[in-house]
Structure 1
Amino acid sequence: MSPRTPPLIEVEGRRLALSNLDKVLYPGPGFTKGEMLHHYATTADPLLAHLRDRPVSFLRFPDGVEGQRFFAKNLPPGTPDWVRTAEVPHTEGVQRQVVVQDLATLMWAANLVTEFHTPQWRDGSPGQADRLVLDLDPGPPATVVDCCEVALWLRERLAADGLDAYVKSSGAKGLHLLAALRPTPSGEVTAYAKRLAVAAERALPQQVTHRMTRSLRPGKVFVDFSQNAAAKTTATPYTLRAQPTPTVSAPLTWNEIESCTTPTDVTVEAPDLPSRLERYGDLLAPLLDEKSAGTLP
């Protein structure tokens, strides 16, 4: 018996074969690949805005969240010739990566079963960051509730430096704080972010560490400043994550951060997104507005 031919759909004039739509990717809730593709299709407008002009790295989990995962920056095999690519400098030389500019490319990439990760700079200006990111990662028994307390302290510190902070769930255990910048060398942004992390540790020594050393992290929130480096990437807003349930790296309101008492208060799963977008729109839209961009002190 021959294998079933994947259904063909047309997206913006491109014919795509979407395969294994009934495959269960998240066994706990029974969330399927078809539901994953639906998530990406229905969140395409804000997701594409945050993917635009940024070379993409993929975390792929084609056999589901309990199967093998692999992180790839290079072009996936069989990348269509109509997919935009960019030359990206790496330590081993220039490498071509996908740039997701349109719905057809998004659905083609989502069919590979992916998380989307992007740098803090845009194609054409590698190493010139237009946003700052702080990754708040709780070391058990600390949880995202502790991250919320640290996020509030960092928001005030950023405001004192003239920068407006926005927040999203990481989609895993913690939070991401972001601020829009006028293009700034990534090294300078990393140095500033490290100063913030050190300041947070000094102000909240029982709650925060700025060092990655594993032995220092239990019970504390690690303020990871390193994702501002030009070679690093962060989970793109609205991407699904390879967690036990279909969690999303989703924008949050500061009211949600202030009132957080349990991890579920700031956990967003794919089925939650349509109502959140209807209620709030894209909470991270100011990051895309050049008028909102600040400068480092």
Structure 2
Amino acid sequence: MEGTVVRVGERRVTLTNLGKVLYPEVGFTKAEVIDYYTRIAPVLLPHLAGRPLTVRRFPDGVGGRSFFVKNVPSHAPEWVRTVRIGTPGSSRGAEFADFVVVEELATLVWLANLAALELHVPQWVVGARGARRCPDLVVFDLDPGAPATVVECCRVAERLRGVLVGDGLSPVVKTSGAKGLQVYAPVRVSSPERTAEYAKAVARRLSAESPGEVVWSMARARRTGRVLIDWSQNNPAKTTVAPYSLRARAVPSVSTPVTWDEVRGCRSPAELVFVADEVRARVGRDGEVFAVGNPSRLPG
């Protein structure tokens, strides 16, 4: 396939079909996707480093077919780092997958050229030799059940922050880029299951305190008008959309780090919707607001 060869650092990357529109509603092209990921890389790459990546590709744009990809494509450049991870219970019956690990801009540009719009990572990293380590993050995915919106998620997030700070953690928050919010905190644990156990206990506690506003069970029938605190994202086999990743919505919305002041002040869903250009401007103005601090040991 013919394309344009560009130099990215010490690598050469071939870019193709740069004029293809991937977000038809606003005419956002593949070239603009690549430009966004290139410009946002200084704050994005630290959140991808060491984490086996699952991507969601949209070769025909967000209105077309899509598919999640774990295994590195056979045509990947030889300089792309990969790591083999066991995948027990895979829907395809595979015992393992060879995941891409993004640790340089060239890999990110190469993925963007494949229309890998969404970047999803686990809450753990691999070591230099590819060994899986225990989780270093705990995540709470706040998902509103209509007619609840991100505004209700903000109120729950404030209460969740109080619990986490009371337990000695240092939470940060971002939009999902879709409907809700995601609250993270850096942690130290001695077993892969510990973060899920802790997150489930916190979710059940907040649900018991406010059953009309919060639910911890995955049963969809119970979620109407409430905020689900999805603790299950801490399962080591699961991934969550990375900070600064694009989302496959009608517009190029981004999973955007926000401040707790913005969460506290939110009164309309539109206040916490950000597209690619806005996120670049926010980072240029405010810098990185999702910098996780030193990890804390979970209580109990």
Query: Does residue 273 of the first structure (1) align with residue 279 of the second (2)?
Result: yes
Q: Cα distance, 1:218 vs. partner?
A: 1.4
**Aligned partners of 1:276 and 1:63: how far apart in 2?**
29
**What does residue 91 of structure 2 align with?**
none
Aligned ranges for residues 219-238 of structure 1 at < 5 Å?
Answer: 219-238=225-244
1:152 aligns with 2:155: no
Number of the residue aligned with 1:95: 97
Q: Work out the CA distance in 1 between the residues paired with 2:138 and 2:191.
A: 11
Residues 253 and 273, structure 2, Cα contact 8 Å, conserved in 1: yes
Residue 253 of structure 1 is matched in structure 2 by 259
Instruction: Specify the SS of the correspondent of 1:137.
Output: strand
- 2-structure distance, mates of 1:283, 1:32: 28
- Match of 1:193, SS state, is helix
Residue type of the partner of 2:126? D
**Is residue 2:184 matched to residue 1:178?**
yes
Query: Quick check: 1:41 aligned with 2:38?
Result: yes
Give the total of aligned pairs: 290
Q: Indicate if the aligned counterparts of 2:134 and 2:192 stay in contact, CA closer than 8 A.
A: yes
8 Å CA contact 2:126, 2:133 repeated in 1:
no
- Partner AA of 1:227 in structure 2: Q
Q: Which runs of 5+ in 1 are unaligned?
A: none
Deviations 1:78-114 (A, max 9, x none): 1111100112121042321000010111100111111
> What amino acid is the match of 1:97?
F
Give the match's secondary structure for 1:185. coil
- In structure 2, C-alpha distance between the alignment counterparts of 1:185 and 1:87, rounded to whole Å: 21
Aligned 1:1-297 pairs, distance under 5 A: 5-91=2-88, 92-114=94-116, 115-124=118-127, 125-126=131-132, 128-285=134-291, 287=292, 289=293, 292-297=294-299
Instruction: Describe the SS at the equivalent of 1:276.
Output: helix
TM-score by length of structure 2 reads 0.94
Compute the TM-score of the two structures, normalised by the length of structure 1.
0.95
Q: Is the 8 A contact 2:189 2:298 kept in 1?
A: no
List runs of 5+ in structure 2 lacking aligned partners: 89-93
Provide the secondary structure at the position in 2 that maps to 1:172: coil
Contact 1:164 1:179 (C-alpha < 8 Å) held by counterparts: yes
Deviation for aligned residue 1:274? 2.0
Deviation of residue 183 (structure 1)? 4.3
What RMSD in Å do the two structures reach over aligned CA positions? 1.2
Identity of aligned residues (%): 45
